Amino acid sequence: MQFSARVKRSTLIAFGGIALGLTACGGSDKKTMDPEMMPEPVMASYEVTITNVTHGQPLSPPALFLHTSDVKSWMTGSSASQGLEVLAESGSTAELLAATSTINAVSGDSVIIPGDRATYTLTAELAAEGENDIELTVVSMLVNTNDAFTGVQNWHVGEMEVMDEMKALAPVYDAGTEANVETQATIPGPAAGGEGYNIERMDTDKVSMHPGVVTQADGYAESALTQAHKFDNGAMVVVVKRVQ
């Protein structure tokens, strides 16, 4: 189950002063803001750290992106987009990022092995006044699976203050685009070296919570996976911290 919490707030964003003047208009005084004294936009920087908490499931190089609240990369019970299908079956982030309207995006350049972590930085320009509709999505494939992915999405980071943090254990989803047969021919990760993306959709065609893998340990002789590749829901810990 995904959860998030703001665990630290120590510094307020400094937006600078606002000068108000009085002008005469039709015999009455009216407060107006001097355009030359309007506060400048603020550049925000977010540090995102991903930790792989599985025993034997490497995570593909993740896609991390800032976007507006109308962007949603997946929904349980609905079909995966083609970009999400490609990521969930092969680990490639290119198509998902190309098809998504982003404010800023980063694609990891290496696999995150079990027990390891990686840190990425995303930036966005914030309006000095009013709400900032900026949200964060992070997604990665469990590479020793047919089409499992893990991620968090639509974290509202636009109103975070400097040194604020949010943290969550990201659940594991099934893209529903490829049957979880676990065979050597269909697992693209190091456990099997099989096929990655396949254009055909051969499963429910609905995103759902992943039921987990069966493996040889439970008597499934055709599986290329071992007990080391099993996972409970929760594959990576994601921490986002506003550092600027």
Closest by CA position to 174, among listed 202, 215, 216, 195? 202
Pairing of strands 63-67, 148-156: unpaired
Q: How many residues does the chain have?
A: 244
Q: Is 66 helix (H, G, I), strand (E, B) or coil?
A: strand
pLDDT of residue 233: 84
Bigger pLDDT: 224 vs 5? 224
pLDDT of residue 40: 80
pLDDT of residue 9: 39
pLDDT tens-place string over residues 136-191: 999 999 999 999 999 999 999 999 999 999 999 999 999 999 999 999 999 999 99
Closest by CA position to 81, among listed 70, 67, 60, 97? 97
pLDDT of residue 23: 36
Range with lowest mean pLDDT among 3-7, 26-30, 49-53, 90-94: 3-7
Half-sphere exposure of 53 (CA within 13 A, CB side): 17
DSSP 4-20: --B-------------E
Q: Does the pLDDT value for residue 22 go beyond 80?
A: no
CA–CA gap between residue 23 and residue 21 (Å, rounded): 7
Q: Does the pLDDT value for residue 122 go beyond 50?
A: yes
